[in-house]
Amino acid sequence: MPLPRTAGQLQQFICATNWMRDSLIDYARVVQPLQQCLDVALNGKRKTKRVASGIAVDLNEEEVYSFNQVKMLLQQSAQLAYPRDSATFCLFVDASDVGWASIFTQVAVWKPGVAVTDQAHDLLICKGGTFHGA
């Protein structure tokens, strides 16, 4: 997949990968340089596909790295499970000064005496985001 050369191509890439974000661990942090590039390119302009397709973008080294990392996340996307009523559910959350994340899993057969980190977790959903303007 070639690097995006217009804001429209970048917008399409971000929108398409955003659709998969529930199975892309750490997506928000990884895509942030691309989102910032798009925000700068579209600043003060209408954010329509037609307008964006006429705005050239030249990704810097950090943005190219981000683009390649997002593609890597797509290749390694986690398989999501369907919730089972009989499972034990686990919610893991974390935050820093940069962003936040939450992972919701289920354990089909909970093993008493086994640490939560050593249980057989099935991923139900993964959410995360970055903080801006706070």
Residue with tokens 């943005």: 63
Which residues have CB under 8 Å from 54's CB, separation 6+? Answer: 6, 8
Stated pTM of the model: 0.75
Indicate whether 111 pLDDT > 60: yes
Indicate whether 14 pLDDT > 90: yes
pLDDT mean over 26-50: 90
Indicate whether 112 pLDDT > 80: yes
Cα 70 to Cα 67: distance, rounded to the nearest angstrom: 5
Indicate whether 134 pLDDT > 60: no
The 3-state secondary structure of the chain reads CCCCCEHHHHHHHHHHHHCCHHHCCCHHHHHHHHHHHHHHHHCCCCCCHHHHHCCECCCCHHHHHHHHHHHHHHHCCCCCCCCCCCCEEEEEEEECCCEEEEEEEEECCCCCCCCHHHCCEEEEEEEEEECCCC
pLDDT tens digits for 63-79?
Answer: 999 999 999 999 998 88
Other C-beta atoms closer than 10 Å to the C-beta of 99 total: 16
Mean pLDDT is lowest, of 20-24, 55-59, 90-94, 99-103, for 20-24
pLDDT tier for residue 46 given thresholds of 50, 70 and 90: confident
